[in-house]
Chains A and B, each alone.
Chain A
Amino acid sequence: MTLHSAGENALILYLGDETSAEVSARVQAAATAIESALGAELVDLVPSYASLLIIYDAFLTDHLHVRAKVHKALANLETTESGAEASTVVLPVYYAPESGEDLEALADRAKLSVDDVIQIHSQMEYRVYAIGFAPGFAYLGEVDPRIAAPRLTTPRTKVPRGAVAIADRQTAVYPAVSPGGWNLIGRCPIRMFNPQSNPTMPVSVGDRVRFEPIDRQRFFDLGGELS
């Protein structure tokens, strides 16, 4: 575990150097402990794969005090991987060439059938490692190496909302129309970011996600759109 300066009111805590459920669980536990240790001095926390960015109020405290509090909070940190606080969210996905433009190419590349790709993608339970890039964009991992695929060499200028995609060993659901270079394999009718709903997002960092294949009709019944 190391703690580095990040900015004038920010420190970054590294809890490992690889993507793993164990490191991610440590990040989660550290976030909870630091949140309660810093209280009102804390402005924001950004948990990610193996790190935690700690942003504090530089007019209430300074980096030396924050460092001391972080070390103290982590000294008796217990990582419980019971997953008691983490919820499992099931996201329906309509996997098809018409909803996932790269599905067939990805299957060809992996020397698998389209059905195999769907089965491999949907049988895994993923973990939400980080949220960022865009509002509501949750990085899920890890994808089975058989269906891992590099980013497109030329990113699309417009990926539709709800697109389910793979990049390397990560998968995600695009929360809004945006540019993107991930391989599109299907479409999820559930909104990943809705400012009008509470909570705004169906998942948070540390949650588990499973994808459930649905057919075209069910996709439309759940409010999905193909455009």
Chain B
Amino acid sequence: MSFRVVQTGILSLLQDSGRMGQHRIGLTNGGPLDPVAFNWCNRLLQNTAGTTAIEVSFGGLQLEAQVDTFICVTGALMPLRINKVKKDLWRVHAVKAGDIVALDFAEEGSRSYLGVADGFQIEPSFGSTSTVMREKIGGLNGEPLQVNDSLPCASVTQRRELYLKREHQPHYQDMVTVRVIPGYQEAHISRVQQRLFFSQAYTVSQNCDRMGYRLEGPPISCDIEGILSEGICYGAIQIPADGQPIVLLNDRQTIGGYPKIGSALSLDAAHLAQLKPGGTVHFAPISHHGAHNALHLAASFYNRLPISELN
């Protein structure tokens, strides 16, 4: 029982909530670039949080169901068709063996999550099924989905057909404000330079992937060019010698020697990862305390948002 990959799309990766606690052997986190959309996918499917789904970047994925089950797609606006009939995103749909599930190219945002009832049954490596291509770990042999890959899953006959109302669905715009917790080498970046960083607009360059988003804009100068290599947390914003900030994401290297101004709030980094090259980014400072608060509010909002059910 499985889904067969008919067409891979630009980049489709099996992801669970990420590989945690393995930095000491040099393994990065992986996991969904947009955990908010990923979590909704599993929640609507009534799966355990963190169940393995497919992260589809930019669209173009086609699968053939070889099992009767339920699917759900959340995240970027990628038109979903089951046997060529257009279906809603953010909603559970029944599929039968033989059905073709197709995602078109993203009209808004760039990452979506295709989940299945009870998840794809993938053997975890180092505690996680998340695919990290750079490390060749996770997923099926550490690789993105390939044509004719077989993605095992259970046959499921009963699921409530839940959906998230349109007014509660996130929207992905071409402009994102990223809140930043100042830290790391911020003391080596002058007040004037920090003012510049927090007041100018940056553009997402062509150089943006699961490791990080390189931005283009007014260069930020830093007193120091390099530091002794140190641990890099999720969202850390490097200021390399050319002054163009790089926001480091899920597949970042775990240590590095460029100075950093601080780190992006995960809630906003998730939106950043939905931007395409050319998208606009503004930075705004937030205190460590404020960031903690924002995380907890977002979690509480997520837990209280009503889920709707068809009849």
User: Chain A: residues with CB nearer than 8 A to chain B?
Assistant: 4-10, 12, 17-19, 43-53, 55, 58-59, 62-64, 130-137, 139, 175-176, 193, 195, 200-201, 204-205
Contacts and interface: CB of A to CB of B under 8 A. Distances in A.
B230 A48 contact: yes
B231 A135 contact: no
Interface string B255-274: 11000001111100000000
A133 B26 contact: yes
B20 interface: yes
A7 B181 contact: yes
Contacts of A7: 181, 183, 233-236, 262-264
B177 to A, nearest CB: 16
A175 B134 CA distance: 13
14 contacts: A6-B184, A8-B235, A12-B183, A17-B228, A44-B23, A47-B24, A47-B231, A53-B23, A53-B230, A58-B296, A63-B292, A135-B26, A136-B26, A193-B25
Contact of B22 (A9, A44, A49): A44
Interface residues of B, number: 43
A8 B295 contact: yes
Given A8-B288, A50-B228, A195 B137 contact: yes
B263 A134 contact: no
B84 interface: no
A6 B26 contact: no
A55 B234 CA distance: 10
A45 B20 CA distance: 10
A63 B293 CA distance: 11
Given A5-B182, A6-B183, A8-B266, A46 B255 contact: yes
Nearest to B29: A44
A64 B290 CA distance: 12
Nearest to B293: A62
Contacts of B264: 7
B291 A133 contact: no
Given A4-B184, A44-B22, A46-B23, A53 B233 contact: yes
Interface in B1-43: 20-27
Of residues B125, B233, B265, which shows the largest number of chain A Cβ atoms within 10 Å of its Cβ? B233
B220 interface: no
B304 to A, nearest CB: 16
A48 B288 contact: no
Interface string B215-242: 0000000000000111111111000000
A10 B233 contact: yes
A6 B24 contact: no
B253 A5 contact: no
Contacts of B21: 43-44
Contacts of B253: 132-134
Given A5-B262, A58-B295, A195-B126, A134 B229 contact: no
B183 A135 contact: no
A18 B227 CA distance: 10
Nearest to A10: B233
Closest 9 CB pairs of A and B: A53-B231, A46-B231, A132-B255, A7-B263, A5-B183, A10-B233, A7-B233, A8-B291, A51-B230
A71 B254 CA distance: 24
Interface in B131-159: 134-137
B289 interface: yes
A167 to B, nearest CB: 11
A43 B19 CA distance: 11
Given A8-B181, A8-B265, A12-B231, 12 more contacts: A5-B262, A7-B233, A8-B263, A44-B21, A49-B230, A51-B231, A53-B231, A62-B289, A132-B253, A134-B135, A193-B25, A193-B26
Contacts of A49: 228-230
Of residues B235, B256, B292, which shows the largest number of chain A Cβ atoms within 10 Å of its Cβ? B292
Contact of A63 (B24, B230, B231, B288): B288
B49 interface: no
A87 B78 CA distance: 53
A135 B251 CA distance: 12
